[in-house]
Structure 1
């Protein structure tokens, strides 16, 4: 066992042995998820799109970078990244970031009630390396710039209202955002090797033009209690936001972020971890850590974007790894849900469910070519559990 693995096992092992139980059911410092049989069973052979899926599921290509989206006159953007879905009457909209620098931005695809594509268009232009982001309860898309002193841009998925820069949410290497309607805050991840985990407290919920940026303060262990401290200068210059508050907890490469049921989960790619904050007890712990898998090979590596289903399953996309979307169940089982074959130079991005939960959207950022101009956006349909 490597020293790094041993130390992490020692820190977590004592806590998990003492408490046990399921992360989702509120037990303190439960053991991180372990490999097992997922609720949908084994993956089948690759389909015509090169995607391995469980029985009963199927895939289709929605868009390809540089090519006109079917039934529209709009050419899809390069390097598709973070995404989200929005109800649109009986249909819905899927938005997707473009992680290129310069000229990143975001686009949207509109669907009818039957899933037919009825439109595609730009919703954000002139920004840089828009990686992940998050949906707000008032149906806007927060598109985050993954560059030094990057901005969060609030955008309209319908493309009617102009996008608005939100500097009060802090200037740093933004990754993802997740809205908490109970505490009326937005959680934010930072993609730095010594990044921090933040929350933005708007002056008025629903208006992100002003408010307070706070950073999580905690010890160095992988579980414990935490508090929030205000970042003195959210502008991040000359002192970066992540170094302004003594005692703020460092996270190795913050990526995806998801809120549900008084908990927030986020991933850190530098150490292949999924973290969970219990927002009612103000405690944090590991939901998954690839180096703490106790038997067999870790099924989830290269953790990146994350979303959740109505059943409480987390769906975690891989940046590299074996090009899988893995799920972590409320019973602390981690298993592959799908795998893309023949695209090992890419990464999976932007997982998001349609409003009715029957369709999962995501992208392969660089597709079969390994280039940002080769991105492919997919839809998977099937018997997702409620």
Structure 2
């Protein structure tokens, strides 16, 4: 497959703004965050969907694995994982894309909503790949879907369903997890789900074209804070030497998961040590934004850290793989508190948190639902008074 032109349309302005400005300027995040009262108060009793939310918020089920999505006639995929939202071409409705973490099969599905939030369509945008876990959206309105397998690839897909997906080998072949685009430095940051994984960035030769460029790895010391640099990976195809072993001085992380960029900062999670890391791109330093072992009193509200996204308020939302099956919010003043809890699904994990373009709806999935099986996935929407 060759490079093609994706739809940009009227939505590109909103998309770029959402990608580069989801957190308010000046949000400090003087790590590490500690438990406290969240901005929306305590969780209420479970609703009919088994979801606990703060007062004023409601949930609904959008899709279930193996079942038709609304009245679309499209069957939702198994094991829903990473996801993102895109404004539609008219700027009124939106699209939620969701990976399928199965192997073989994988791929990505999309659900389309009108301005009222009603489901108007569902369709496939990527098929016949392997264990598509997380990924990331680009400022030019494409979804990067990442394979979480050895020598896995990144596929650039069209959320609007008009263009064929393209495998982007220049972004490296390794056990990919998530991606986040930085429109200021014109780079894509990539996490690696290995116990000795690395954090990478891809610098395209031409911004907006991911067919060629330099894959680099973060180089730093062994401490949990300090300064960092970048070094080119000599052989991005990862064979015979894996990408994470090619550069002396590369910093290794214990199971890279979610990744999010906003306002000269990259946040990414590592599941092996329940940490949220923060890269400060203006001064090339890194630090811990959250570490469950550093919580005062030892009662950590956030464990099993996984996918991460941000809101216009400056809040970060971190999903749990296990734990109490929660999405926790971390505020700019370093308070961490539960925002969503799913009951009766302890054999699952929460995946794919993403806000609608207007910031009023949060989408996410329980990958294995009540059954504990990949065929039991459930995708939800939460609506309520999210702060601006």
Same-fold call, TM cutoff 0.5 = yes
Structure 1 position 295, deviation (Å): 2.2
**Which structure 2 residues correspond to residues 305-344 of structure 1 after superposition, within 5 A?**
305-344=307-346
2:379 aligned residue: 377
CA distance in 1, matches of 2:95, 2:75: 17
Is the 1:255–1:268 contact (alpha carbons within 8 Å) kept by the matching residues of 2?
yes
Alignment partner for residue 200 of structure 1, among 199, 202, 205?
202
- Report the equivalent of 1:4: none
- Name the structure 2 match of 1:269: 271
Indicate which of 214, 220, 223 corresponds to 1:221.
223
1:80 equivalent in structure 2: 80
Residue 58 (structure 2) pairs with residue 58 (structure 1): yes
Q: Report deviation, 1:31.
A: 3.8
Change (3 A) 1:26 1:110: closer
Q: Write the mapping of 1:148-159 to structure 2, written as runs, cut at 5 A.
A: 148-159=150-161
SS of alignment partner, residue 300 of structure 2? coil
| Contact residue 315 and residue 327 of structure 1 kept, 8 A | yes
Partner of 1:209 in structure 2?
Answer: 211
Deviation at 1:71, TM superposition (A): 1.6
Segments ≥4 residues shifted beyond 4 Å? 23-29
Cα deviation digits, residues 239-261 of structure 1 (max 9, x gap): 00000000000000000000001
- Count of residues in correspondence between the two structures: 364
1:289 counterpart residue number: 291
Contact 1:29–1:285 (CA<8 Å) still a contact in 2?
no
Indicate the residue corresponding to 2:11 in structure 1. none
Show the counterpart of 2:182. 180
Which residue matches 1:20?
Answer: none
Name the SS for the 2:297 alignment partner.
coil
- Name the counterpart of 2:348: 346
Does the 8 A contact of 1:324 with 1:338 survive in 2? yes
**Residue in 2 that maps onto 1:160:** 162
Deviation at 1:27, TM superposition (A): 10
- Asked if structure 2 preserves the Cα contact closer than 8 Å seen for 1:44 and 1:55, the reply is yes
- Conservation of the 8 A alpha-carbon contact between 2:36 and 2:337: yes
Deviation at 1:221, TM superposition (A): 0.1
Q: 2:27·2:332 contact (CA, 8 Å) conserved in 1?
A: no
Q: Are the equivalent residues in 2 in contact too, given 1:29–1:223 (CA < 8 A)? A: no
Does the 8 Å CA contact 1:81/1:97 hold for their aligned counterparts? yes
Residues 252/232 of structure 1: CA separation in 2 closer, same or farther (3 Å cut)? same
Question: What CA deviation, in whole Å up to 9, does each residue of 1:95-124 have, x standing for no partner?
Answer: 000000000000000000000000000000
Using the alignment, how far apart are the partners of 1:119 and 1:266 within structure 2?
32
Aligned pair in 2 of structure 1 residues 37, 79: CA closer, same or farther (>3 Å)? Answer: same
Q: Which moved more, 1:28-37 or 1:168-177?
A: 28-37
Root-mean-square deviation (CA), in Å? Answer: 1.4
Alignment match, 1:92: 94
Change in Cα spacing, 1:29 to 1:283, as seen in structure 2 (3 Å) is farther
TM-score by length of 2: 0.92
- The question of whether the paired residues in 1 share the 8 Å contact of 2:133 and 2:145 is answered with yes
Q: Distance in 2 between matches of 1:381 and 1:220?
A: 42
What is the CA-CA distance between 1:192 and the residue it aligns to?
0.1
Q: Residues 28 and 332 of structure 2 are in contact (CA less than 8 Å); yes or no, is this contact kept in structure 1? A: no
C-alpha distance 75-28 of structure 1, shift in aligned 2 (>3 A): closer
Structure 1: 5+ residue stretches without partners = 1-22
Q: Distance in 2 between the 1:225 and 1:29 partners?
A: 17
Secondary structure class of the residue paired with 2:244: helix
Q: Tell me the TM-score normalized by structure 1.
A: 0.93
Q: Does 1:41 align with 2:26?
A: no
Q: Which residue pairs with 2:10 in the alignment?
A: none
